[in-house]
């Protein structure tokens, strides 16, 4: 254990925290969630409510401030409960882990081995726990512990849990809120209060935590009764997001930048996990004021023309010329509408570029001497493509004969654009 990696380094090698994207003016856009890990927002111990600290110690390891890293009473209780005359031994039962041992399990033991109750894992956990308690202060160990435990609801660590459950920082937790959260880690699937089937169990567990705090003289019985009677309200489970298609575009671009070596990911994180676990704070080029205007334009134009043209979706990108900064990025009419496949980003989807190529077509012609009054043919057209005849049509099946480039472009005439490409030469593009 002499070459034991410091917990902060071990934590950094696995996950530092979730990343947050902001617009160019600092307005919050989105916090990137690790779907398998959840939110991680580490904070120092002084940024955690004393109620939360006391509730956790009372519940998980009452002897924490005096033990050497092992809760001997807990181990004895576990041995008594699990020792059987024909069983494999008390090390393979449950219970008894100190806060330091739980930290070791969360940080040093591989995820797939954390629920392995064989003696080898328990011995490793115990040895590392003893070494940690020898090398580090109680407060430091407690800080690491509170920043790594699972509170369910996509929340790892007390700050993420406080925000997800109650919409407050860990420092702002009340006694009632702290007691509710402190009761979750023992069995997250049973005690998370936002799961409908858990409400009564979670409330009973909160009362257990409060009683333990009274027992260990952290609070009075009157304070416990008052906290137990307090009605708690919980945040909605959805994740707040603005400019949704854009923030996922940013995520993909950051991963590509990392893979190209444009920046080094923190710790030993892979480029694939740098956004969800790298703790980045990302200031983007988008302007939410302009973004909202763009979203309004898309909705207004589509809703007023939906019946006429049978079109249900659209997108906008506004780029600042000269710098290439993306100011507005609306990937669909409504990200949350399944009936229009709203989560599909029309901007970056691999689709035909369609009429967006027409301005470039005529620009190339202008470079060869054409002018807006140059005439171009608009009539039924068939092309030989790979030995097959392919018809080129206008959207309304109407043809205007010889028309000016100005009219062809302003009315987005398909046939005229194709005739221009053939006359200018496709190799010129």
Domain ranges across the chain: 40-229, 355-428
Q: Which pLDDT score is estimated for 1?
A: 47
CA dihedral 221, 224, 230, 236 (to 10 degrees): 180
Q: Which pLDDT score is estimated for 300?
A: 94
| pLDDT band at residue 291 under the 50/70/90 scheme | very high
**CATH homologous superfamily of 40-229:** Biosynthetic peptidoglycan transglycosylase-like (1.10.3810.10)
As a whole number of angstroms, the distance between CA 55 and CA 59 comes to: 6
* Higher-scoring residue by pLDDT: 180, 68: 180
- Going from the C-alpha of 61 to that of each of 72, 73, 96, 101, 218, the distances in angstroms are 10, 10, 9, 10, 14
Residue among 378, 276, 250 nearest 36 (CA): 276
Q: Which pLDDT score is estimated for 298?
A: 95
As a whole number of angstroms, the distance between CA 355 and CA 332 comes to: 18
Q: Which pLDDT score is estimated for 85?
A: 46
Which helix (DSSP H) or strand (DSSP E) does residue 406 occupy?
A: helix 405-410
Q: Mean per-residue pLDDT for 402-409?
A: 94
Q: Mean per-residue pLDDT for 313-337?
A: 93
Q: Which residues contact 302 (CB under 8 A, 6 or more apart)?
A: 311, 312, 313, 314, 333
* 3-class DSSP state of 385: strand
| pLDDT band at residue 348 under the 50/70/90 scheme | confident
As a whole number of angstroms, the distance between CA 180 and CA 66 comes to: 25
Residue positions annotated with a catalytic role = 60, 355
* 3-class DSSP state of 1: coil
As a whole number of angstroms, the distance between CA 68 and CA 5 comes to: 19
Q: Please check the confidence at residue 9 and state whether its pLDDT lies above 50.
A: yes
What DSSP string describes 196-207? GGGHHHHHHHHH
Q: Mean per-residue pLDDT for 370-397?
A: 89
Residue among 133, 134, 159 nearest 49 (CA): 159
Q: Which pTM was predicted?
A: 0.57
Neighbours of 183 (CB within 10 A): 28
What DSSP string describes 80-135? HHH--SSSS-GGGS-----HHHHHHHHHTS-GGGTT--SHHHHHHHHHHHHHHHHH
Tokens of 232: 């708690």
| pLDDT band at residue 349 under the 50/70/90 scheme | confident
| pLDDT band at residue 33 under the 50/70/90 scheme | confident
Per residue in 79-121, pLDDT tens? 554 444 444 443 333 345 899 998 888 777 765 565 666 677 7
Per residue in 218-271, pLDDT tens? 999 999 999 999 999 998 755 678 999 999 999 999 999 999 999 988 877 788
Q: What is the CA radius of gyration of the chain?
A: 31
Q: Which pLDDT score is estimated for 410?
A: 93
Give the pairing type, strands 316-320 and 281-283.
Answer: unpaired
Tokens of 142: 């407690």
CATH topology of domain 355-428: Beta-lactamase (3.40.710)
As a whole number of angstroms, the distance between CA 125 and CA 289 comes to: 53
- Lowest mean pLDDT of 27-31, 151-155, 187-191, 250-254, name the range: 151-155
Query: How much of the chain exceeds pLDDT 90, in percent?
Result: 50
* Higher-scoring residue by pLDDT: 154, 143: 143
């Amino acid at each position: 254990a002499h070459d034991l990696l410091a917990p902060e380094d071990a934590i950094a090698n696995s996950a530092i925290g979730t990343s947050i994207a902001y617009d160019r003016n600092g307005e919050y856009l989105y916090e990137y969630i690790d779907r398998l890990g959840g939110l991680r927002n580490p904070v120092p111990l002084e940024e955690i409510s004393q109620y939360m600290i006391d509730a956790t110690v009372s519940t998980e390891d009452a002897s924490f401030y005096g033990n050497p890293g092992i809760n001997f009473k807990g181990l004895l209780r576990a041995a008594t409960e699990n020792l059987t005359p024909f069983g494999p031994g008390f090390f393979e039962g449950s219970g008894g882990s100190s806060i330091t041992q739980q930290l070791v399990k969360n940080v040093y033991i591989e995820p797939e081995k954390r629920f392995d109750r064989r003696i080898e894992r328990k011995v490793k956990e115990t040895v590392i726990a003893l070494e940690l308690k020898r090398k580090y202060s109680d407060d430091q160990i407690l800080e690491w512990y509170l920043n790594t435990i699972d509170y369910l609801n996509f929340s790892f660590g007390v700050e993420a849990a406080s925000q997800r459950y109650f919409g407050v920082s860990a420092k702002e937790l009340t006694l009632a809120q702290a007691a509710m959260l402190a009761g979750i880690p023992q069995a997250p699937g049973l005690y998370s209060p936002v799961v409908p089937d858990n409400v009564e169990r979670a409330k009973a567990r909160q009362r257990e935590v409060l009683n333990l705090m009274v027992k260990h003289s952290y609070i009075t019985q009157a304070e416990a009764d008052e906290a137990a009677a307090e009605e708690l309200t919980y945040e909605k489970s959805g994740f707040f997001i603005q400019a949704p298609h854009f923030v996922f575009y940013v995520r993909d671009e950051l991963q590509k930048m990392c893979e190209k070596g444009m920046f080094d990911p923190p710790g030993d994180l892979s480029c694939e996990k740098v956004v969800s676990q790298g703790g980045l704070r990302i200031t983007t080029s988008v302007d939410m004021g302009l973004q909202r205007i763009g979203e309004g334009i898309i909705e207004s134009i589509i809703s007023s023309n939906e019946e006429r043209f049978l079109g249900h979706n659209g997108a906008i990108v506004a780029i600042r010329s000269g710098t290439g900064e993306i100011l507005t990025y609306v990937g669909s009419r409504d990200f949350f509408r399944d009936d229009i496949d709203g989560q599909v980003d029309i901007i970056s989807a691999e689709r035909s570029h369609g009429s967006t190529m027409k301005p470039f077509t005529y620009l190339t012609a202008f470079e060869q001497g054409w002018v807006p009054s140059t005439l171009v043919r608009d009539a039924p057209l068939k092309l030989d493509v790979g030995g097959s005849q392919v018809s080129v049509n206008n959207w309304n099946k109407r043809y205007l004969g010889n028309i000016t480039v100005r009219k062809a472009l302003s009315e987005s005439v398909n046939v005229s654009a194709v005739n221009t490409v053939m006359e200018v030469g496709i190799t010129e593009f």
